[in-house]
Structure 1
Amino acid sequence: MKKIMVGNRKGGVTKTTTTVNTAYEISKLGHKVLLVDFDSQGDTTKFTKRVDTEYYIGDVLMDRKFDINAAIYPAIINDEEQPNLHVIPARSGDIMTKLDMEMISLPRREDRLMYQLKQVEDRYDFVIMDTNPSTSVLGLNAVMAADLYIFPTEYKEHSLDGIDVLLEHICNVKYVEPDDVDFIILPTKIDKRAKRSLEFGESFLATAWPNHIADSVIYDRAVFSDSESEHEPISVISPGHVAANYYKKFAKEVVNHV
């Protein structure tokens, strides 16, 4: 079971869009995928239409005797339950913030998801975790559980700098060196017309992390806004659109990377 964290210290880099679309496309390739939503906005939960569930990620983390299977729900995509795509939902609003505060004083607080996922090792091929940009106990759980990290980024300085900050955080938390961290940098929201931005971003990544750049590029398209507002994957709302192929290609890249 490959455990993947999607994150960047900069918000607004299509992190949830990348999480949901990548997970969906991997599931369509025949792999069993579990989404875990750590984001206080609960956007991945909204995408999977599992907002009002009995259990959520807090139940999994707060009680070591809790059966994680009880908090796992089939994602609903295009009004259909997905056999290969499931989710452990978040809660929106202050609930996730309160959960984070409650966990601060708990023993083994950063290892709890890693421990709980052992219950479903034989059930899933991939676990993909959506995180928020801030440092939190919830985020620490994703960092500790993951063995592959996906960093979506724009070709903007603050977004690219966010990768370095998050990578350093991962190294400090796991007490490893950057060369020991398996990560893929995925360029997102890329405007082909912005020549200077293209040159800057490509040059920056080629210099800083030449061996970690995805072959796939997610170019900026209006259909991504439609996807976010309708809470459906790109290939569902616009199957013939060129943007639908972006995440299909990246999903195959992730599977082959493993």
Structure 2
Amino acid sequence: MKKPYVISFANSKGGVGKTTSCISVGCALAAAGFKTLLVDLDHQGNLSDDVGRGDENYTITDLFEDPKFDTNSLVYPALDGTNVIPNLDVIPADITLAVEARSAERFRHRLNILEEGLKRLKIAYDFILIDLRPAIDLSIENALLITDKLVVPVDMDRRAIKGIDDLFQVVREVRRNEDFVYTLVKTKVNESHSKMKKAIDGYISEANYRVALTEIRQSELFKQATDVHRPVMHFAKNERPYRDYKSFTKELLQQIEEAEGGKK
């Protein structure tokens, strides 16, 4: 069975559109025909809520409680309201994840819990997308070790930019200086705030970060979709968020194809 491509979404600052980006890319990949799994590793469970799976009997916590737990029992179809989203599944999180991740330190193969658990899945996924919470714990370390590509959403706030180097330092420590592939994506972009946008763009350029050509523009539709617990890609079909994330996903697929082609 072909190994799924793992993309993790992370930023050490909250509120940058990380969870929204993870769900939206997942929806775009699923709509393009790719079998996609979302994994919620944030104990707040916002991703789980937004795909209709915020109150399930089994969650990712069960895997860190018992590394031999049947991971297939954790997988649920993602929902838009009451409708199943084709090609999109989710492993939800719950509030006890942070506690169980700490207690899982006692296990001998603690850094491979997530990897081994995902290997036991019977469904052949093309992509696994992981939403990482800003803090670093054992569950996040597990995810970083299996990540093929890191997507770092950054909004037009200087604090989001400042956290990038800290995040990358953590990734290097976890992966023991092993190279990692990443893409920054600008979120909540508001062209009317030209001075702020110019300052952020200048910092990113000066730091020589690899940044996506696609920018995710600000829209009230993001908040409206979250308020009713629906993925914005389905809530705002063909509107600005839909078009931006569809374009970003297409760019991601092109980057992956070029990178994979270069390995051959």
For 1:185, the aligned partner's letter is L
Does the CA-based 8 Å contact 2:17-2:153 persist in structure 1? yes
User: 1:155·1:200 contact (CA, 8 Å) conserved in 2?
Assistant: no
Which residue in the other structure is 1:172 paired with? 173
The 3 A distance-change label for structure 1 pair 97 and 235 is closer
Equivalent-residue separation in structure 1 for 2:47 and 2:91 (angstroms): 10
> What amino acid sits opposite 2:249 in the alignment?
A
Residue 60 (structure 1) shift: 2.1
Instruction: Please give the secondary structure, in 1, of the residue aligned with 2:106.
Output: coil
Give 1:151's aligned residue.
152
- Partner secondary structure for residue 191 of structure 2: coil
Equivalent residue number for residue 128 of structure 1: 129
Alpha-carbon distance, 1:83 to partner: 3.1
Deviates more, 1:116-125 or 1:42-51: 116-125
- Measured in 1, the distance between the counterparts of 2:133 and 2:153 equals 13
**What corresponds to 2:103 in structure 1?**
102
Write the distance in 2 (CA, Å) between the matches of 1:150 and 1:121. Answer: 26
> What displacement does 1:112 show?
1.0
Structure 1 residues 230 and 110: CA distance shift in structure 2, 3 A: same
Question: 2:226 maps to what in 1?
Answer: 228
Q: Deviations along 1:24-55, whole A, 9 cap, x unmatched?
A: 11110000110110111100110111122221
Give the aligned partner of residue 32 of structure 2: 29
Partner AA of 1:218 in structure 2: I
For residue 205 of structure 1, report the CA deviation from its aligned partner.
Answer: 1.4
CA contact (8 A) 1:78 1:236 kept: no
Question: Deviation per CA, 1:52-75, whole angstroms, max 9, x where unpaired?
Answer: 222110222332322211111111
Q: 1:70 corresponds to which residue?
A: 73
Q: Secondary structure at the match of 1:224?
A: helix
Corresponding position: 1:59 with 2:62: yes
In the alignment, is residue 81 of structure 1 matched against residue 84 of structure 2?
yes
**Do the aligned residues in 2 keep the contact of 1:3 with 1:128 (CA within 8 Å)?**
yes
SS in 2 for 1:111: helix
48-57 or 30-39, larger mean C-alpha shift = 48-57
1:97, distance to aligned residue in structure 2 (A): 2.5
Match of 2:255 among 251, 254, 257: 257
Does residue 18 of structure 2 align to residue 19 of structure 1? no
- What do you get for the CA RMSD once the two structures are aligned? 1.6
Q: The residue matched to 1:91 in structure 2 has which SS? A: coil
The one-letter code matched in structure 2 to 1:5 is S
1:90 is paired with a residue whose SS is coil
Offset at residue 19 of structure 1 (A): 0.9
Q: CA deviation at 1:121?
A: 8.1
CA contact (8 A) 1:184 1:213 kept: yes
Whole-Å separation in 1 of the counterparts to 2:241 and 2:40: 24
Write the letter of the residue equivalent to 2:111: E
Distance in 2 (alpha carbons) for counterparts of 1:170 and 1:25: 27
1:26 and 1:255 in contact (8 A); partners too: no
Query: Is the CA contact (8 Å cut-off) linking 2:53 and 2:79 kept in structure 1?
Result: yes
Question: CA, structure 1 residues 182+121, in 2 after alignment: closer, same or farther (shift >3 Å)?
Answer: farther
Give the paired residue count.
253
What stretches of structure 2 of length at least 5 have no aligned partner?
A: 257-264
What displacement does 1:191 show? 1.5
Farther-moved stretch of structure 1 (118-127 vs 46-55)? 118-127
Quote the Cα distance in structure 1 between the aligned partners of 2:93 and 2:233: 24
The reply to whether residue 238 of structure 1 matches residue 236 of structure 2 is yes
SS of residue paired to 1:82: strand
- TM-score in terms of structure 2 length: 0.91
Identical aligned pairs, as a percentage? 28
Q: Which runs of 5+ in 1 are unaligned?
A: none
Q: What letter corresponds to residue 85 of structure 1 in structure 2? A: L
- For normalisation by structure 1, the TM-score amounts to 0.93
